[in-house]
Amino acid sequence: MEDGRRALPYHRKGWVLRQSGIGGRWSRRSASLFWFLVAALLTVPERAPAADEDREPPVLAYAARIAGDRARTRIVIDLDRKPTFEVRYLERPDRIVVDLPAFTFAFAADDLKARGLFKDVRFGAVDARSARIVLTTERPAQLALAEVQADEGGKGFRLVLDAEMVKREVFDDLVKRQAWSGGKAAVGAEASEAAVAAARGDRLGTSGAVPGGAFVIAIDAGHGGIDNGAIASETKTPEKDITLAFAKALQRRLAREPGIFAFLTREGDEFLSLSERVTIARQHHANLFVSLHADKLRQDNIRGATVYTISDKASDRMAAELAERENLADTIGGVDLASEPAEVTDILLDFTRRETQAFSVAMAESVVSSFEGQVALINNPHRFAGFRVLQAHDVPSILLELGFLSNKEDEKVLLDESWREKIAELLTAAIRRYREPVLANGG
């Protein structure tokens, strides 16, 4: 197997060496410098050497950007033409390799500075006919999406590489599979379906594999580990314990529903970044994501449940402030949010597709109708804001504030086991109602 580390630190090497061989008198270094300057000055890619006149000119990669975190990272490269490409996975160190035809990389190396899942990003020519991108990963990762998309304006194309964290077994499986298929790796979730299923057992505890055709629900207990969430005013109970108790009660209740399989994003007192929560839900093919919370407000007289869906524009000030505070969870856990460029938020939000959004809203409304007359709701109980934990583009997601730990009455019910069971019952009814139209359509 070819070693990806040979991929060039410097994008013209292959071609320059060929030229300096012809040039003779020049030192390799001054020849490199000369041709680098020539390449930099020409807006049109260099003319191919005479023997290769019939060859296609290199694909021009004129801009690039990278965004994301340790759970998911996206690379976008703007191109003048549509290239073919192949993806491979290499071990020790773990790398994702994208093999390309001849490319002219005309953007600054800093535009693809390693971040998120990648600790090293390299790109360059391999020889006159091929180029390569080598992504060395911080932890096992796979490309959930790798495709060339046409720009909306019809101006050009872009290569989109969406990497996401996977378990070690899944990555090992990707490496093994491509050995059988002559070096090429399939891209996307399907590539490792079997490995995901195999790896599922330990993540999901003793419950093991998902029964075929089940409606899968990811129950996300807010906060955890170093991130306590809010602290109850009277009993000083941390929000992370309350959310986990509710998550477990809901999972137990849903286990009695036919055709439903519910799992927890965290089963103990552990820290998960918001992006990891979303990624875990997506990797288990969740049909629904429910994040549970019990936050604090400055106004201690406000009580009752609220259901949130994602939106880049908040429904009101309270929703905006809550989302802002919830999104800080990553900072508490040491995820460096400060270094995220502003465009990251946009890129992440653009994962949220309209169709998924409509389902999220339907689920939120179903929860509100289940709760009405049964438990205290705040006024306008369905609200929206830019919660990062609700950003899965293909999993309808809601965030449920069960009540507020800043309010004494809410605190009392939030710690009451029978109230917890009642909420689990009402949420189960809401999920049943939400599924009705889906079932009617045979989905």
Structure tokens belonging to residue 380:
């306008």
- Amino acid at residue number 106: A
With contacts defined by CB under 5 A, how many residues of the chain interact with Zn ion?
4
For residues 181-214, one letter each, b for 16 or more C-beta atoms within 10 angstroms of the residue's C-beta and e for the rest, the string is eeeebebebebbeebbeebbeebbeebeebeeeb
**C-alpha span between 242 and 239 (Å, rounded):** 5
Q: Does 295 bind Zn ion (CB under 5 A)?
A: yes
What is the nearest approach in angstroms of Zn ion to the Cβ of residue 71? 19
**Please, what is the minimum distance in Å from the beta carbon of residue 270 to Zn ion?**
16
Chain residue at closest Cβ approach to Zn ion: 293
The answer to whether residue 266 forms part of the interface with Zn ion (CB under 5 A) is no
Span 151-210, contacts to Zn ion by CB under 5 A: none
- Residue 85 or 271: the one with the smaller Cβ distance to Zn ion is 271
Residues belonging to the chain: 443
Question: What string of DSSP letters covers 277-318?
Answer: HHHHHHHTT-SEEEEEE----S-TT--SEEEEEE-SS-SSHH
Candidates 85-93, 166-174, 221-229, 244-252: pick the segment binding Zn ion (CB under 5 A): 221-229
CA–CA separation, 272 and 278 (whole Å): 10
Task: Report d(CA 219, CA 212) in Å as an integer.
Answer: 19
Residue corresponding to tokens 């465009």: 343
Q: Show the beta-strand stretches assigned E in 166-235.
A: 215-221
**Taking CB under 5 A as the rule, does residue 68 contact Zn ion?**
no
Should residue 386 be labelled a site residue for Zn ion when binding is judged by CB under 5 A? no
Interface with Zn ion, residue 220, by CB under 5 A: no
Name which position in 14, 68, 224, 229 contacts Zn ion (CB under 5 A).
229
Contact 192, 166 (CB under 8 A): yes
Q: Does residue 293 interact with Zn ion by CB under 5 A? A: yes
Strand order from edge to edge, sheet including 397-401: 260-264, 215-221, 288-293, 397-401, 305-310, 377-385
Please say which residue, 12 or 293, places its beta carbon nearer to Zn ion.
Answer: 293
Give whichever of 196 and 329 is closer to Zn ion, judged by the CB atom.
329
Stretch that binds Zn ion, among 8-16, 148-156, 225-233, 346-354 (CB under 5 A): 225-233
Q: How far is the CB of 240 from Zn ion (least distance, A)?
A: 8
**Closest CB to Zn ion among 229 and 238?**
229
Contacting range for Zn ion; rule: CB under 5 A; set: 64-72, 116-124, 228-236, 283-291: 228-236
Closer by beta carbon to Zn ion, 173 or else 326:
326
> What are the respective helix, strand and coil percentages of the chain, to the nearest 5?
40, 25, 35
Any contact of residue 222 with Zn ion (CB under 5 A)?
A: yes
Q: Which stretch binds Zn ion (CB under 5 A): 7-15, 65-73, 177-185, 220-228?
A: 220-228
- Residue where the block lists tokens 């490995």: 195
Cross-strand pairs, 142: 164
List the interface residues with Zn ion, window 310-339 (CB under 5 A): none
Rounded least distance, CB 424 to Zn ion, Å: 19
Q: What is the rounded distance in angstroms from the CA atom of residue 263 to the CA atom of residue 210?
A: 10
Q: Which residues of the shown chain bind Zn ion in the complex (CB under 5 A)? A: 222, 229, 293, 295
